[in-house]
Amino acid sequence: MLESLGLPDAELSVSFVGDSFMRTLNRTYRRIDRPTDVLSFSMQEGAFPRIQPDVLGDIVIAVSVAARQASAAGHDLHCEIDLLLIHGLLHLLGYDHERGRREDISMKRKERALLARLSA
Structural domains for the chain = 3-119 (3.40.390.30)
pLDDT digit string (tens) for 21-78? 999 999 999 999 999 999 999 988 767 667 777 899 999 999 999 999 999 999 999 9
Q: Which helix (H) or strand (E) holds 65?
A: helix 63-73
pLDDT at residue 62, rounded to an integer? 98
Give the CA distances from residue 49 to residues 4, 7, 8, 14, 57, in Å, rounded to whole numbers and listed in that order. Answer: 23, 16, 19, 19, 10
105 vs 54: CA distance, rounded Å? 27
Residue 10 predicted with pLDDT over 80: yes
48 vs 84: CA distance, rounded Å? 27
27 vs 76: CA distance, rounded Å? 28
